[in-house]
């Protein structure tokens, strides 16, 4: 009997590379279909609201942008007991509840998944509001997905090319292609403020 697996992407797509984890689950769901018991979820910045999804999971795979202090675009895999320490290493922004707190709460309540796999990527840029992934980070999406697929196979999870249920993903209007290609130019949408911050003469 295959395990119940939660595949989770977390982060804030509004802040450039912080959206890495969310973009990973979007692409995974667009290309792969899984057997019963596998949930693919855009966790965004929901923090403790993710606890009900963890309650029924035997295994957890998390994609996230993590500040490991490594060169931008470096992917690092962390497992099981080591995951909470890395998830709490540095919160990516004030907008993101630390997932370390989510894991700790699940452990206290007695339903933390027995196996944890963190697939993290070192961000390059976090201060570009409305910006997309930088190339060096975007290039790690497919390798990160391959790591997840290999682990799912090891766990005996049924999978095949296709599409997963997109119910728990973000609205199509803010998925990667639409979001990044729809961004106004820097001339149209000032990156550092607006007229309120640039008072005119007189």
Residue 145 scores a pLDDT above 60: yes
Top-confidence range, 92-106, 146-160, 165-179, 186-200: 146-160
Residue 86 has pLDDT above 70, yes or no: no
What is the pLDDT of the chain when averaged over all its residues?
A: 85
Measured at the CA of 43, the angle between CA 63 and CA 162, to 5 degrees, comes to 70
* Residues facing 9 on adjacent strands: 42, 63
Q: Is the pLDDT of residue 202 over 50?
A: no
10 Å CB burial of residue 50 (0-12, 13-18, 19+) is buried
Q: What is the mean pLDDT of residues 104-116?
A: 87
Whether the predicted pLDDT of 100 surpasses 70 = yes
Name the 3-class secondary structure at 65: strand
Torsion (CA) 70, 96, 20, 158 in degrees, nearest 10: 110
- Beta strands of 13-114 (E only): which ranges? 32-34, 38-44, 59-65, 75-79
């Amino acid at each position: 009997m295959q395990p119940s697996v939660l595949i989770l992407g977390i982060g804030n797509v509004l802040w450039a590379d912080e959206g890495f984890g969310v973009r990973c689950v979007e692409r995974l769901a667009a290309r792969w279909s899984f057997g019963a018991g596998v949930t693919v979820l855009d966790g965004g910045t929901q923090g403790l609201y993710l606890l009900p999804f963890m309650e029924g999971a035997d295994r957890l795979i998390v994609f996230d942008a993590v500040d490991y202090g490594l060169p931008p675009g470096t992917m690092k895999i962390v497992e099981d007991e080591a995951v909470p320490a890395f998830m709490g290493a540095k919160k990516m922004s004030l907008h993101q509840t630390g997932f370390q707190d989510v894991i700790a709460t699940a452990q206290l309540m007695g339903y933390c998944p027995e196996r944890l796999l963190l697939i993290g990527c070192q961000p390059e840029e976090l201060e570009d509001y409305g910006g997309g992934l930088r190339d060096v980070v975007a290039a790690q999406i497919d390798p990160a997905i391959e790591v997840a697929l290999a682990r799912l196979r090891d766990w005996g999870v049924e999978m095949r090319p296709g599409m997963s249920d997109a119910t728990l993903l973000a609205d199509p209007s803010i998925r990667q292609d639409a979001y990044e290609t729809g961004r106004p130019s820097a001339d149209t949408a000032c990156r550092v403020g607006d007229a309120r911050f640039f008072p005119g003469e007189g």
